[in-house]
């Protein structure tokens, strides 16, 4: 399956009996769909299977960015391009997340559940970016973030 993602859809080939290459090796030509065996159909369908797997792993925002791609290889190349974080970009994201952590306060009218969800998303983002706080640091921050 990985070959379909890295090399593109499989071509179903057969030996061309009317021509040979200069080294006397048989020349390969693409099979017509009417000649496909069950095994050939499975190979030809691998690109659809790979696309389906890739689609199922994406959220709506990311799916919108790749929905025009026609092959699993195109999808993978687009995702690689979109998701490659350069060091500077990652550092900027980390700085912003640390600032959000440092400035986290419970908003007026915000329920404890809403605050917990918002604060948890900040912690998750920090962990994803490689910054982790101890449970003690997190507990102290939460206590300071709550209104008196």
Query: Does residue 124 sit in the same domain as residue 92?
Result: yes
Give 87: exposed, middle or buried? Use CB within 10 Å, 0-12, 13-18, 19+: exposed
pTM over 0.75: no
Determine the average pLDDT of the residues in 1-21: 81
Give the model's pLDDT for residue 90: 80
Query: Does residue 49 sit in the same domain as residue 109?
Result: no
Query: Does residue 18 sit in the same domain as residue 78?
Result: yes
Query: Does residue 7 sit in the same domain as residue 72?
Result: yes
- From 37, 66, 83, the end of a domain falls on 83
- Going by pLDDT thresholds of 50, 70 and 90, the confidence category of residue 22 is low
User: Tell me: the pLDDT tens digits for 89-138?
Assistant: 788 889 999 999 999 999 999 999 999 999 999 999 999 888 999 999 99
User: What is the residue range of 52's domain?
Assistant: 2-83
Query: Does residue 7 sit in the same domain as residue 46?
Result: yes
Query: Does residue 115 sit in the same domain as residue 138?
Result: yes
What is the rounded CA–CA span in Å between residue 131 and residue 128? 7
User: Tell me: the pLDDT tens digits for 23-79?
Assistant: 667 788 888 889 889 998 998 899 999 999 999 989 898 899 899 999 999 999 998
Judge whether residue 19 has pLDDT over 80. no
Give the model's pLDDT for residue 81: 81
- From 52, 83, 114, the end of a domain falls on 83
Give the model's pLDDT for residue 87: 63
Query: Does residue 71 sit in the same domain as residue 6?
Result: yes
Q: What is the dihedral of CA 108, 114, 119, 123, to 10 degrees?
A: -170
């Amino acid at each position: 399956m990985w070959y379909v993602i890295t090399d593109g859809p499989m071509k179903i080939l057969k030996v061309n009996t009317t021509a040979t290459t200069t080294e006397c090796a048989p020349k390969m030509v693409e099979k017509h769909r009417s000649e496909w065996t069950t095994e050939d159909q499975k190979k030809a369908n691998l690109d659809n299977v790979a696309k389906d797997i890739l689609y199922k792993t994406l959220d709506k925002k990311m799916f919108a960015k790749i929905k025009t791609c026609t092959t699993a290889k195109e999808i993978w190349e687009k995702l690689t391009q979109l998701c490659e974080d350069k060091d500077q970009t990652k550092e900027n994201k980390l700085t912003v997340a640390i600032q959000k952590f440092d400035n986290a306060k419970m908003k007026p009218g915000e329920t404890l559940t809403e605050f917990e969800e918002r604060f948890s998303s900040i912690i998750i983002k920090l962990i994803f970016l490689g910054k982790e706080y101890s449970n003690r640091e997190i507990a102290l921050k939460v206590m300071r973030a709550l209104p008196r």
